[in-house]
Amino acid sequence: MVRGIYIAASGMMAQEAKQSAISNNLANASTPGFKRDIAVGESFSDIVSGFARSPIGRMGMSTAITAVYSDHSAGSTASTENPFDLAIEGDGMFAIQTDTGVRYSRAGNFKLDAESYLVTRDGYRVLGVDGPIRVDGSLVVQDDGGVYSDGEFRGRLAIVIPVVSEGLVKVGGGLYAERAGAAGAPGAAGMVQAQPGQARVIQGALESSNVNVVREMVDMMTGYRTYEATQRALLSHDALLDKAVNEVGRVG
């Protein structure tokens, strides 16, 4: 009975983690360049420090969410006719200079700051191959990332591709960072400059989120019903344990 409580509790915790990921996906369904998260579970007993790290007896302890990965498949591209909106067709990410180092993003809803630098909505500068991009007049971006202002070449966007997409971790604001470790090491991403044909920049367009709202809602309802069933199982085991402790051993 104690084993059943552990199994049911672990299942409820796994469903809570999945629901959290689904809720975040739905909240960002209209966020440009957002990539949906997928909670991955395994039959594994190492869940939290408060639970035993070994199976009870010869039976495992149900499921656990071991990691949350981002689905990097491309979203649809929608025209905005705003010259400061940029989308990437194919592989590739924009390089962004932040206060904590270079970060990466697929969200191309840019603007100009007070110093005429191309920046993200949060004010971080968009990097070119030779540094931040400054625009003093009209903006024209070619499909190879070349940036022109009033007919003058201002640089080329630094469109980079992660060697291992699973080596990127979300850091908020539509940005990704490389996981800890040297480039090429297990768990690290490593970023390389996009080669001709790997990525094409589209001006006046934005990449939509790759969240399918209907699929996420179906997954949410399925998870909710699974949570309810697991909760009923836990309550049943708790009632049986109560009877075992307070009634079975009673001397009448």
* Residue 245, pLDDT above cutoff 80: no
**Residues 231, 149 share a domain:** no
> What percent of the chain has a predicted confidence (pLDDT) above 70?
83
Give the pLDDT of residue 57. Answer: 52
Question: Which helix (H) or strand (E) covers residue 152, if one does?
Answer: strand 152-156
Rounded CA gap, 37 and 39, in Å?
Answer: 7
**Residues 200, 126 share a domain:** yes
* Residue 149, pLDDT above cutoff 90: yes
Give the pLDDT of residue 128. Answer: 94
**Residues 174, 81 share a domain:** yes
What is the average pLDDT across 41-47? Answer: 54
Give the pLDDT of residue 201. Answer: 95
Contacts 24+ apart (CB under 8 A), 179-182: none
127: in domain: yes
**Residues 84, 160 share a domain:** yes
What is the average pLDDT across 116-131? Answer: 95
Rounded CA gap, 48 and 91, in Å?
Answer: 37
Give the pLDDT of residue 165. Answer: 66
Q: Extract the tokens encoding 96.
A: 């962004």
Give the pLDDT of residue 251. Answer: 53
Domain count of the chain? 2
DSSP state of 218: H
**Residues 187, 120 share a domain:** yes
What is the average pLDDT across 223-236? Answer: 84
137: in domain: yes
Which amino acid is residue 40, in one-letter code? V
**Residues 140, 29 share a domain:** no
What is the average pLDDT across 79-86? Answer: 95
* Three-state SS at 10: helix
Q: State which residues form the domain around 33.
A: 2-72+211-246
* Residue 188, pLDDT above cutoff 50: no
> What percent of the chain has a predicted confidence (pLDDT) above 90?
52
DSSP 37-85: EEEEEEE-S---TTS-SS-BTTB---EEEEEEEE------EEE---TTB
**Residues 82, 48 share a domain:** no
* CB contact set of 85 (below 8 Å; sequence gap of 6+): 108, 109, 110, 203, 204, 205, 206
Which amino acid is residue 66, in one-letter code? T
Question: Which helix (H) or strand (E) covers residue 177, if one does?
Answer: strand 175-178
**Residues 22, 138 share a domain:** no
What is the average pLDDT across 66-84? Answer: 90
* Three-state SS at 208: coil
* CB contact set of 168 (below 8 Å; sequence gap of 6+): 70, 104, 162, 176, 177, 178, 179, 189
Rounded CA gap, 86 and 150, in Å?
Answer: 18
Name the β-bridge partners of 161. 192
Give the pLDDT of residue 35. Answer: 94
Average pLDDT taken over every residue of the chain: 83
Give the pLDDT of residue 1. Answer: 56
**Residues 198, 92 share a domain:** yes
Give the pLDDT of residue 32. Answer: 94
- Confidence band for 114, pLDDT divided at 50, 70 and 90: very high
Lowest mean pLDDT among 31-35, 175-179, 226-230: 226-230
What is the average pLDDT across 82-92? Answer: 94
